[in-house]
Amino acid sequence: MNEAGNAIPGEISAATRLRLWTILIIVIVFYLVTQFGVGLYTDFLWFEHLGLESVFLTSFLARIVVGLAVAIPFAVLFWVNTLIARWQSVRNVLFFSEDTLVAQGFVKWAVWGVGLFLAWGVGTAASNNWLFFLRFLNQQPFGLADPVFNMDVGFYVFSLPLYNFIQNWLIIALFLSLIGTVAVYALAQQNNLAEGRVVLLPHVQLHLSILGGLIFLTFALGHWLDLFDLMYSDRGVAFGASYTDISVSMPALWSMVIVAVVAALILFANIIFRRAALSLMAVFIWIVVGIIGTGLIPGIVQRYVVEPNELARETPYIEHNIRLTSIAYGLDKIQEQDFTKVEPLTQEAVAANQTTLQNIRLWDYRPLQQTYQQIQSIRLYYRFYDVDLDRYVINGQLRQVALAARELDKSQLQSPTWVTQKMQFTHGYGVVVNPINEVTGEGLPQLWVKDLPPESSVGISIDRPEIYYGEATDDYVFVNTSEREFNYPSGDQNVFTNYEGSGGVVLDSYVKRLAFALRLADTNMLLSQEFTDQSRVLLHRQIAGRVQEVAPFLQYDRDPYLVIGDDNHLYWIQDAYTTSDLFPYAEPIGGINYIRNSVKIVIDAYDGSLTFYVVDEDPLIKSYAAIFPRLFTPMDQMPDWVRAHLRYPEDIFRIQARLYQTYHMRDVNVFYNKEDLWQVPNETFAGGAQPVEPYYVILKLPGEAKSEFALIQPFTPNNKDNLIAWLAARSDGESYGQLVTYRFPKQELIFGPLQIEGRIDQNPEISSQITLWDQGGSEVIRGNLLVLPIDNALLYVEPLYLRAETGQIPELKRVILASGDRIVMEETLAEALVALFEGGADELLTTPGAPTIDEPSTTGEASTTDQGTTSADTTQPASTGDTSTADLADKDIAELAQIASDHYEAAQRALQKGDWTTYGQELDKMEEALNALIELTGGQ
């Protein structure tokens, strides 16, 4: 306004400014509420419906406390230093003009504003490290000390990260305070700076010397912490502190600590002497010692002292690396056994390992997934994203099966409206299950569970086949609305359903609907009339994202697998790992150097409920359990049916197998020279070479009494193709988690997968048949070549699939078996076994009419026995009759010889039929007759 009180044209009135400020504040508040408040509120509702609100509150309060604990001291430190600088500048008015004094009024408000902004930024960044503080407060001992400082490993895992965080925070806080202080002093001397001169006043030297001294004390703390970081040095031949690190870098770091402390004392002394040269000298000495002590000298020593005598210098440190790497990855628990002699596969071994043969995996998961998609997707909008391997007891027999969930693929909906995607098509439906060794006459898998609704031929019932939570279910949906949910198609009609589970957040108020509408950026939630007070929103439905949302501090296996519970519901089992990258001396792999499969998570596919079972109480999971006591459930509360489906996870097994290729060498000389380095062998798959993947099998491990579910991985010597060993991870009962290695004799040639592939290609009958198929408008897919140990023998199994060039369904057409010097190819596994024993290496038997363990019975139902024969086959009496041991005592030599011969012939007939039970019984009777004959002849 002018002197008369009239408004000056263009000037904003006070009322207008007030309105503008009001609008600005409303916009800021609305932004903060929508950006943070809505997210927090909806997150709390989501955790609350799972009964895990304590997990949310613990992490949320920890973030707040850590953020404030860092931001407040930072703001105080920044404001104290910058306001002191302003106060000192105002007191010394000698160098100020009127304009400068006016500017200092602005500086006051700028200091408060900048300090608040920086404190918010630093506090927000620090709050993301809330877990450092909670793990520090709940740390657990490992009971293992490092070999250099004799500190428990828990110090490195729980304490060291927090100490490094504090040191970094101090550096940031002091440097930002220094920059702010210098800026205030520089503003006070803007007139001198404009004239090109700088006057360093005594009070400025005093203030900057104090800040510089504090910074150098923080540097000293950092150098002391750097001593422990030597445990992660990669300078030497093995990971961890090496000869150079211990002999040179460690003394150099201690020197840096001393120099930094001395530099700080010199800067503090400069408060009295007030000579800039002293400060510059201290900084210069610190820089020189750092360059020489931590850079130049260690490099010279490593090159001219260590490398010429590397093994002698590094021996104790290599030992540390081998020992601690083995402990960090659980390699020290591997039981090592010698596979002393590899013998040809015998019929007796086949009879004694019927469970293994009944569960040979003929269906590779990749062709099987394509087959599922073609014959069981039913509709375009269903998809099988993965095939899981597991085991079930069927008719009293342990059987390995392939199982896949039929999930919903909404990208294939013909009318993808908001209502159809969010309210009608809400879930997948049902599963497909087939034994991994059975094939129909058309070369397709023999399905035990199939179709919509699920039908089972072996007594596997599924009462709740709806899949609201799955591997690929990555969107949100609404249930219990006035719209009917599509359940599954039935002919030309659709079957509808209403959700009856407890999953999802109940939208029983308009506030909740508004909050989720803002959260999901979905205005249709507010406009739709389909919602009721019982409506629910289902979020985080993808298994991987769901568990990550609850427990982001765990790492997760890439392959959750589906199981059918004893309540006939569907459940996902997700393996979780506790990991660290701070285990001393342990070799890093994939960003970690410590791992344990500590947790198994069971997720209900219908309501999304989660149960975190602790299966390995390592120090990290103990710490997390102390932080989140209501999240984890002890192993002893796990239901028996869940235990029966636990399997050793593949991701940790791959890591252990990869490291074991090197770390099975415990001798330092052998390790250093890599004399016995292993590798994963290659195989031929779908026309190309690839590494052999670990595979789940049911087999009887050497020396064990019964068959079990295991994950195995063969090894070959580095740059060679012959087998050298195989690693097995056990999954059943009390043996769960045990790792066993079987080493083959080095003096024998044991064929590896690629060598067997080469022998297959060299077989004229097999190679010519494959070539003929490939040239006839079809594509031959060579499945995984499995190496199966059976007693002291090895059986190699490779399925062949045939797919028309214009088709999408791979059909299993042949089974190739190899053992010893024999290779055969037949239509079925049973025929191939017969050919393996009777036909020699080149004779191919064709008996398609004979019942085999691969073929279903003529009724289309599952076989009544696990040998694949009908009940009439298994009850047919042997032609030799039933001779007891007592009866054999009354026979003469000729009679005993005839009885043994009759039982042998009966065993051969059973073998050709694939009747393994009768085959084993006849061999036992033959053995009794032969023993009686030996006793009668006196062993002659």
- HEC string of 815-871 equals EEEEECCEEEEECCHHHHHHHHHHHCCCCCCCCCCCCCCCCCCCCCCCCCCCCCCCH
Burial of 478 (0-12, 13-18, 19+ CB in 10 A): buried
Q: Measured between alpha carbons, how far is 149 from 227 in angstroms, rounded to an integer?
A: 9
Residue 445: both structure tokens together: 């898998």
From residue 115, give the alpha-carbon distance in Å to each of 270, 308, 346: 28, 56, 82
The number of beta carbons lying within 10 Å of the beta carbon of residue 449 is 22
8 Å CB contact between 344 and 751: no
8 Å CB contact between 365 and 622: no
Averages of pLDDT over runs of 10 residues in the chain (940 residues) are 50 69 74 78 96 96 95 93 81 53 63 88 93 96 96 97 96 93 79 59 81 94 96 93 94 93 89 74 85 87 90 95 97 91 85 88 92 93 95 93 96 92 96 94 93 93 96 95 94 92 95 93 94 96 96 96 96 98 96 97 97 96 96 96 97 97 95 94 81 93 90 95 94 94 90 91 89 81 90 91 84 92 90 76 32 35 32 37 56 69 77 68 77 59
Confidence at residue 66, expressed as pLDDT on a 0 to 100 scale: 95
Cα 175 → chain centroid: 40
Q: Measured between alpha carbons, how far is 733 from 213 in angstroms, rounded to an integer?
A: 62
Which residue intervals of 354-450 are DSSP H helices?
Answer: 354-357, 365-376, 418-419
> What is the biggest distance separating any 2 CA atoms in the chain, rounded to whole angstroms?
143
Confidence at residue 5, expressed as pLDDT on a 0 to 100 scale: 53
Burial of 219 (0-12, 13-18, 19+ CB in 10 A): buried
Q: Which residues pair with 599 in a beta bridge?
A: 576, 614
Confidence at residue 890, expressed as pLDDT on a 0 to 100 scale: 62
Q: Measured between alpha carbons, how far is 167 from 339 in angstroms, rounded to an integer?
A: 54
Task: Name the residue type at position 579.
Answer: T
Which residues fall within 8 angstroms of residue 475, CB to CB, at 6 or more apart? Answer: 410, 421, 541
Q: Are strands 493-497 and 678-679 parallel, antiparallel or unpaired?
A: unpaired
Q: Are strands 570-580 and 561-564 parallel, antiparallel or unpaired?
A: antiparallel
The number of beta carbons lying within 10 Å of the beta carbon of residue 248 is 22
From residue 809, give the alpha-carbon distance in Å to each of 374, 772, 801, 860: 6, 19, 9, 21
Cα 46 → chain centroid: 25
From residue 769, give the alpha-carbon distance in Å to each of 762, 766, 804: 12, 5, 16
Which residues fall within 8 angstroms of residue 520, CB to CB, at 6 or more apart? Answer: 476
Q: Which of 613, 593, 555, 550 is nearest to 157 (CA)?
A: 593
Q: Are strands 428-429 and 466-467 parallel, antiparallel or unpaired?
A: antiparallel
The number of beta carbons lying within 10 Å of the beta carbon of residue 444 is 18
Q: What is the length of the chain?
A: 940
Cα 134 → chain centroid: 24
The number of beta carbons lying within 10 Å of the beta carbon of residue 774 is 13
From residue 642, give the alpha-carbon distance in Å to each of 388, 454, 564, 645: 16, 22, 9, 5
8 Å CB contact between 599 and 554: yes
The DSSP element (H or E) to which 310 belongs, if any, is helix 310-328
The DSSP element (H or E) to which 398 belongs, if any, is strand 397-405
8 Å CB contact between 398 and 707: yes
Confidence at residue 700, expressed as pLDDT on a 0 to 100 scale: 92
Q: Tokens 């009609």 — which residue?
A: 493
Q: Measured between alpha carbons, how far is 783 from 345 in angstroms, rounded to an integer?
A: 22
Secondary structure class of 455 (helix, strand, coil) = strand
Q: What are phi and psi of 690, to 5 degrees?
A: -155, 160
Which residues fall within 8 angstroms of residue 492, CB to CB, at 6 or more apart? Answer: none
8 Å CB contact between 123 and 93: no
Which residues fall within 8 angstroms of residue 1, CB to CB, at 6 or more apart? Answer: 7, 8, 11
Q: Measured between alpha carbons, how far is 607 from 338 in angstroms, rounded to an integer?
A: 49
Which contacts (CB < 8 Å, 24+ apart) does range 453-459 have?
Answer: 453/429, 453/488, 454/430, 457/860, 457/861, 457/862, 458/394, 458/395, 458/862, 459/394, 459/395
Q: Which residues pair with 802 in a beta bridge?
A: 780, 811
